[in-house]
Amino acid sequence: MKCHTCGLEENIPFRCTYCGESFCHLHRNPINHFCPFLNTYTEKRKLLREGNYDNGYSSLGNSIGRSLLRAIKIKSSKTELLHIAVAALLVTAVGLSLNGYRHFSWQFLAMFVSAFLVHELAHKFLAQYYGSWSEFRAQMYGLIITAISALPFMPFKFIAPGAVMVGLTDRNKFGRVALIGPLTNLVMGFSFLISAYLYPYHSYLYAGASFNAWIALFNLLPFGVLDGQKIFDWNKIAWGCAMATTMALFIIAHF
């Protein structure tokens, strides 16, 4: 489909929930495509910031639940849930392909998939904490690469089904949102590593440390649209510390 504003072709376009038109990632927000319902969008965001917008939480039938949801302000959409489900399914297939689909282990698979999901959700939650629109979107070329990696005879595996899109203009906040993803992998990786020393008979714990080290290392590479490039542009010291810590985890987990 083509963006209603600039005509850019998008394999997976963003649909405005106010006017119903389809847009590219640059014009997805109502304020960027001069939405005819911009006043409604602005008023809703104001109410959300003030914590006065119900947003359907009344269906919970519980005032405590509504207060909690408003406090954490986690927002999603059916489109995002669909994209995450497709991405998680392909990531699961990659995990199963590592042993040629011959064996199945819940522990192994849970650690493999969580290394991807927690990373992406960390981006989303921090961006929303800063008041930004933030949702995961699958990308066609990423889905294809991940699907090819799920073939058992492929020697190299790449997991890049999509990414979390954010609408932040503040440089410092944008840098922190980029950094939080690899940091979650480092926390999980070292946690698995410590657990592996405490419980040496559970070999899958080393696998969990290894997976998280790989994902953090890949995302910290300062190239293209990866987190590493955003972090490097924002704060080179933060990038250097994160990369050094990731290399330490990688070396310890593999040797």
43 labelled catalytic: no
Q: Say how far apart CA 163 and CA 229 lie, in whole Å.
A: 14
- What dihedral do alpha carbons 73, 15, 164, 228 form, nearest 10°? -130
Distance spanning both ends of the chain, measured CA to CA: 48
Considering only CA atoms, which of 65, 171, 84 is closest in space to residue 124?
84
Backbone angles phi, psi at 177, to 5 degrees: -65, -40
Instruction: Considering only CA atoms, give the Rg of the chain.
Output: 20
Three-state DSSP at 166 gives strand
Q: Check if the beta carbon of residue 181 is closer than 8 Å to that of residue 219.
A: yes
Catalytic annotation, pick one of 21, 80, 120, 135: 120
H or E stretch including 23? Answer: strand 22-23
* Residues marked as catalytic: 120
